[in-house]
């Protein structure tokens, strides 16, 4: 066998080995990507910004601060009493758009077990969906949620711009202070109906 | 092979166009005739479809596709809980009402078939799709055959309420019925559930696949004129 033909055979072997390595590498990369992409919920999770009561949380399009939380067994709205089988949580927040007018379309309470309670549609919620926030004009208002009395652990209020889909966008998570079962029971058993405050500019 | 020749072959196998099939089948001849068929993509697809239709027989046939893998949904009694996701439901009764506020029929002479139920969300997140949960049959002249015309909380008549995890609510499902239809004395209520699974397109876990979960025969109490 001449030297030239030997080099040709070795070249073909090397070419084949490289092809196998590239093939295995591609398959391995694909398997890793598939493993990563299998948990789409985790891969596309929102960008969470957390803050305690009294501290502002800065999102992509708006900022929000939890000011205080109160509770009730009945909320009075539009001429009707709205009793609950659990307890009403009424959270006072201050919100402001950052650069452009924006609506807060999503509001929910999350408990420590991961259960999510959307803002109630039983009463008028002037701050959610209907109110357009203007840049640097803070607005103060209340949001009402219904939760069971045995709601798990510490609670947070979640706010986001889009009502249905919070993926891949900022989600403000405002930590409420510790709420014991005694407090929730006291609020739930209060026969006096609560009324949500009128939304107002924070001047 | 020209078409004329192939038809001739097939006619030999079947014993002629107008002759009844013979009791005995010559397997080797049938196999030879298969070889004579020109297998286009379309014919392969048809053959596969026929084979698939036959192959489902050992697995419960088409009833499995119609009723799900567990067969027809179980029958429950009134006040019996239907457990499952994303809600558990207890049918508590049925009513027949005249049109009256806050109900609003398309024709004020029409009446309402009402199903009362206790609904508790078992999912981790509040639900807005409770109107999917019940369907009725056995009442003629419904204005909407499928979805109820109104779904509301009994306590304050909030329509299409958002229901929350762990908070059971008494809910009414109302179907408008034509005034000329026979008065129903009972209806059959089908309770539907959904399955939490990754969406085929987005991969996100969602409650999908609305499917019947239980059937309840509910007496309708006529409360018109009260």
Answer yes or no: do B132 and B211 share one domain. yes
Per cent of chain B over pLDDT 70 is 78
Of B169, B203, B205, the CB nearest to A85: B169
pTM: 0.77
Answer yes or no: do B85 and B30 share one domain. no
Handedness of CA B4, B10, B15, B16 (dihedral sign): negative
Over residues A10-37, the mean pLDDT reads 87
Is 90 exceeded by the pLDDT of residue A105? yes
What residues does B169 pair with on adjacent strands? B119
Q: What is the pLDDT of residues A41-86, one digit of tens each?
A: 888 899 999 999 999 999 999 999 999 999 999 999 999 999 999 9
CATH topology of domain A47-201: Immunoglobulin-like (2.60.40)
Question: Rounded CA gap, B107 and B217, in Å?
Answer: 28
Is 70 exceeded by the pLDDT of residue B11? no
Answer yes or no: do B41 and B97 share one domain. no
Q: Which of A107, A183, A191 is nearest to A150 (CA)?
A: A183
- Which residue, among B120, B121, B154, B166, would best test binding to A if mutated, counting the most A CBs under 10 Å from its CB? B166
The pLDDT value given to residue A53: 96
| Burial profile A110-147: b = 16 or more Cβ within 10 angstroms, e = fewer | bbeeebebbbbbbbebbbbeeeebeeeebbbbbbbbbb
Chain B closest-CA separation from residue A113 CA (Å): 9
User: In this complex, is the C-beta atom of B124 within 8 Å of any C-beta atom belonging to chain A?
Assistant: yes
Answer yes or no: do B179 and B207 share one domain. yes
Q: What is the pLDDT of residues A141-184, one digit of tens each?
A: 999 999 999 987 889 999 999 998 898 999 999 999 888 999 99
| CB B114 within 8 Å of CB B139 | no
Residue window 122-161, chain A: list those with CB within 8 Å of chain B. 122, 146-148, 150-151
Instruction: Give the start-to-end residue ranges of the domains of chain A.
Output: 3-38, 47-201
Answer yes or no: do B32 and B141 share one domain. no
Over residues B136-143, the mean pLDDT reads 96
Answer yes or no: do B20 and B123 share one domain. no
Decide if A81 and B156 are in contact by the 8 Å CB cutoff: yes
The pLDDT value given to residue B1: 42
Q: What is the pLDDT of residues B31-63, one digit of tens each?
A: 677 677 777 777 777 878 777 777 666 555 555
* Boundary residue ending a domain (B67, B89, B119): B67
Three-class SS state of A46: coil
Over residues B203-219, the mean pLDDT reads 95
Answer yes or no: do B88 and B45 share one domain. no
Answer yes or no: do B109 and B154 share one domain. yes
Q: What is the tally of structural domains in chain B?
A: 2
ipTM, two decimals, is: 0.82
The pLDDT value given to residue B25: 56
Tokens 């004020």 identify what position?
A: B108
The pLDDT value given to residue B22: 45
Domain membership of residue B126 as a residue range:
75-222
Answer yes or no: do B149 and B211 share one domain. yes
Answer yes or no: do B123 and B209 share one domain. yes
Give me the CATH number covering residue B135: 2.60.40
Answer yes or no: do B97 and B175 share one domain. yes
Report which of residues A14 and A32 the model is more confident about. A14
Q: What is the pLDDT of residues A89-102, one digit of tens each?
A: 999 999 999 999 99
* Boundary residue ending a domain (B67, B88, B121): B67
Confidence band (pLDDT; 50, 70, 90) for B216?
A: very high
Answer yes or no: do B80 and B176 share one domain. yes
**What CA–CA distances, in Å, run from A7 to A13, A73, A87, A111, B219?**
10, 88, 83, 70, 91
Report which of residues B160 and B33 the model is more confident about. B160
Q: In the A/B pair of chains, how many CB contacts fall below 8 A? A: 65
């Amino acid at each position: 066998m001449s030297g030239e033909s030997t080099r040709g055979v070795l070249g073909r072997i090397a070419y084949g080995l490289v092809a196998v390595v590239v093939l295995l590498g591609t398959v391995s990369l694909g398997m890793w990507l598939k493993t990563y992409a299998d948990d789409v919920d985790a891969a596309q999770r929102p960008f969470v910004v957390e803050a305690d009561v009294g501290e502002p949380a800065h999102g992509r399009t708006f900022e929000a601060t939890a000011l205080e939380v109160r509770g009730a067994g009945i909320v009075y709205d539009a001429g009707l009493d709205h009793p609950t089988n659990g307890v009403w949580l009424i959270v006072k927040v201050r919100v402001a758009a950052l650069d452009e007018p924006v609506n807060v379309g999503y509001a929910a309470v999350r408990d420590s077990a991961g259960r999510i309670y959307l803002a109630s549609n039983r009463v008028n919620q002037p701050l959610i969906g209907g109110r357009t926030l203007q840049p640097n004009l803070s607005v103060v208002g209340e949001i009402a949620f219904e939760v069971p009395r045995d709601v798990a652990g510490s609670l947070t209020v979640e706010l986001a711009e889009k009502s249905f889909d919070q993926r891949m966008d900022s989600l403000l998570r405002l930590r409420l202070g510790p709420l014991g079962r005694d407090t929730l029971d006291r609020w739930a058993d209060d026969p006096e109906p609560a009324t949500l405050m009128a939304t107002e500019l924070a001047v | 092979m020209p078409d004329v020749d192939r038809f001739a072959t097939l006619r030999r196998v079947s014993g002629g166009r107008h002759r009844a099939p013979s009791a005995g089948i010559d397997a080797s001849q049938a196999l030879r005739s298969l070889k004579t068929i020109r297998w286009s993509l379309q014919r392969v697809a048809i053959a596969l479809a026929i084979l698939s239709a036959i192959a489902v027989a050992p697995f419960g046939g088409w009833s499995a596709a119609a009723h799900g893998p567990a067969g027809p949904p179980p029958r429950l009694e009134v006040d019996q809980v239907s457990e499952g996701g994303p809600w558990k439901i207890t049918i508590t009764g049925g009513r027949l009402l005249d049109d009256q506020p806050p109900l609003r029929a398309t024709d004020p002479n029409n009446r309402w078939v009402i199903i009362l139920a206790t609904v508790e969300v078992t999912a981790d997140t509040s639900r807005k799709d409770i109107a999917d949960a019940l369907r009725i049959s056995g009442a003629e002249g419904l204005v909407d055959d499928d979805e109820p015309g109104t779904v509301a909380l009994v306590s304050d008549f909030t329509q299409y309420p958002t229901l929350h995890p762990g908070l059971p609510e008494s809910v009414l499902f109302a179907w408008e019925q034509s005034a000329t239809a026979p008065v129903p004395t009972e209806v059959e209520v089908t309770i539907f559930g959904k399955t939490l699974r990754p969406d085929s397109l987005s991969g996100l876990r969602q409650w999908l696949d609305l499917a019947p979960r239980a059937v309840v025969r509910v007496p309708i109490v006529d409360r018109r004129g009260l």
